[in-house]
């Protein structure tokens, strides 16, 4: 891991800054980093592990499932294309609508999974990648392994961190865009996760949250009813009651043929 990645992080136990210690120097891949109070964290394959407090039993079950499906995840989600009448990768590419037309942009994909959102960004901005400072976090080491391999293969530079959305190990006021897709419906602490996403955004920064949930119109159709019957996640409504009070300009739209909600708000 490198100096800019380290500088973006914080100790998940005490919130203090982190530094390299004797066992790991900048640009090395394996060793330990330490905070100003002496809390020690491991780095493996360039990915620091900053999970604290230990995850609950319920979350651990989800993560074990994600670890297991990581290698096949991209293939599994392709089923959504035919079933929902969408092109998931093209839909992800719509993320470009939120990117300023010029200048540097710091983005984090919280729960990055297999890295599909940043690959979609790469498809749109191949010749401008130099202006992006990309970070990805996930609690599943299996997912991080898959996204790391994908980014390395495609020469997309992303700083990856093993961490939990309930205590994101990043500095406050850091990102222009905080993106989350696909996990929040099953998070055990939805308000906590949204508060954390808001905390790491810069003042004026954007938070974008996308997950399964049919639009009010689609719910009334025969197709919509069949989708919700086949997979109860699609019956979830956008968690607007849990958006932090400090959030500004909250907007909800429906994407992916009205089968996913998209909440966008500003800090
Ligand atoms: C359905 S996948 C979505 C992955 C990716 N964002 C996408 O759009 O394809 C949900 C992701 O959330 C991650 N996740 C679940 N609980 C988490 C937590 N507490 N903190 C961080 N990530 C978590 C999982 O490991 C998994 O990668
Ligand atoms: Zn510490």
Residue 198 backbone phi and psi in degrees, to 5: -65, -40
Predicted confidence at residue 22, as pLDDT, reads 67
pLDDT tens-digit map of 43-98: 999 999 999 999 888 889 999 999 999 999 999 999 999 999 999 999 999 999 99
Per the structure block, which two tokens stand in for 70?
């990581």
pLDDT tens-digit map of 165-191: 999 999 999 999 999 999 999 999 999
The per-residue DSSP string of 52-96 comes to -SPPPHHHHHHHHHHHHHGGGHHHHHHHHHHHHT--HHHHHHGGG
Q: Quote the CA–CA distance of 255 and 86 in Å, as a whole number.
A: 10
Residues with CB under 6 A from ligand 1: 59, 62-63, 66, 111-113, 116-117, 138-140, 143, 164-166, 181-183
Residue 49 Cα to ligand 1 middle (Å):
16
pLDDT interval class at 29 (50, 70, 90): confident
Cα 79-138-230 angle, rounded to 5 deg: 30
Q: Quote the CA–CA distance of 143 and 46 in Å, as a whole number.
A: 15
For the chain, give the percent of residues with pLDDT over 90: 93
Residue 200 Cα to ligand 1 middle (Å):
18
Contact 82, 76 (CB under 8 A): no
Predicted confidence at residue 155, as pLDDT, reads 97
Predicted confidence at residue 27, as pLDDT, reads 74
Mean pLDDT along residues 197-213: 98
Q: Quote the CA–CA distance of 32 and 40 in Å, as a whole number.
A: 7
pLDDT interval class at 1 (50, 70, 90): confident
Ligand 1 atom with minimal separation from the 166 CA: 19
23 pLDDT above the threshold of 70: no
Specify the higher pLDDT residue, 257 or 56.
257
pLDDT tens-digit map of 95-149: 999 999 999 999 999 999 999 999 999 999 999 999 999 999 999 999 999 999 9
Task: Please indicate, yes or no, whether the overall pTM of this predicted structure exceeds 0.95.
Answer: yes
DSSP3 helix / strand / coil % (the chain, rounded to 5) = 40, 25, 30
Contact 70, 143 (CB under 8 A): yes
CATH numbers and ranges of domains, the chain: 1-50 (no CATH), 54-266 (3.40.50.150)
Q: Quote the CA–CA distance of 2 and 29 in Å, as a whole number.
A: 9
Specify the higher pLDDT residue, 25 or 46.
46
The per-residue DSSP string of 113-173 comes to TTSHHHHHHHHHHGGGGGGEEEEEEES-HHHHHHHHHHHHHHT--EEEEE-BTTB--B-SS
Q: CA–CA distance from 209 to each of 30, 123, 178, 253 (Å)?
A: 32, 21, 8, 11
Residue 33 Cα to ligand 2 middle (Å):
10
Ligand 1 atom with minimal separation from the 210 CA: 8
Contact 114, 145 (CB under 8 A): no
Residue 22 backbone phi and psi in degrees, to 5: -55, -30
Contact 25, 43 (CB under 8 A): no
Q: Could you tell me which residues come within 8 angstroms of residue 188 by beta carbon, excluding any fewer than 6 positions away?
A: 56, 58, 59, 166
Q: Quote the CA–CA distance of 150 and 138 in Å, as a whole number.
A: 15
Residue 136 Cα to ligand 2 middle (Å):
21
Substitution site in 57, 113, 261 for ligand 1 pocket (most atoms within 8 Å of beta carbon)? 113
């Amino acid at each position: 891991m490198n100096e800019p990645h380290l500088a973006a992080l914080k100790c998940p136990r005490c919130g203090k800054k982190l530094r390299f210690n004797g066992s790991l120097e900048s640009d090395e891949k394996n060793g330990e980093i330490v905070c100003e109070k002496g809390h020690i964290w491991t780095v493996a394959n360039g990915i620091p592990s900053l999970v604290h407090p230990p995850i609950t039993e319920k979350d651990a079950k989800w993560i074990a499932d994600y670890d297991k499906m990581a290698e096949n995840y991209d293939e599994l989600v392709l089923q959504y294309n035919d079933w929902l009448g969408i092109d998931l990768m093209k839909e992800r590419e719509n993320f470009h609508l939120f990117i300023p037309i010029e200048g540097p942009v710091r983005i984090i994909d919280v729960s990055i999974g297999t890295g599909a959102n940043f690959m979609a960004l790469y498809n749109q901005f191949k010749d401008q990648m130099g202006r992006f400072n990309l970070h990805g976090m996930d609690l599943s080491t299996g997912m991080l392994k898959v996204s790391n391999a994908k980014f390395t293969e495609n020469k997309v530079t992303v700083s990856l961190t093993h961490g939990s959305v309930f205590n994101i190990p990043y500095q406050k006021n850091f990102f222009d865009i905080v993106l989350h897709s696909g996990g929040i419906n099953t998070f055990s602490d939805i308000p906590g996760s949204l508060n954390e996403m808001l905390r790491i955004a810069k003042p004026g920064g954007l938070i974008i949250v996308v997950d399964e949930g049919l639009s009010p119109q689609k719910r009334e159709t025969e197709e919509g009813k069949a989708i919700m019957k086949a997979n109860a996640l699609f019956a979830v409504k956008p968690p607007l009651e849990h958006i932090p009070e400090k959030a500004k300009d909250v907007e909800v739209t429906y994407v992916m043929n009205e089968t996913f909600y998209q909440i966008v708000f500003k800090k």
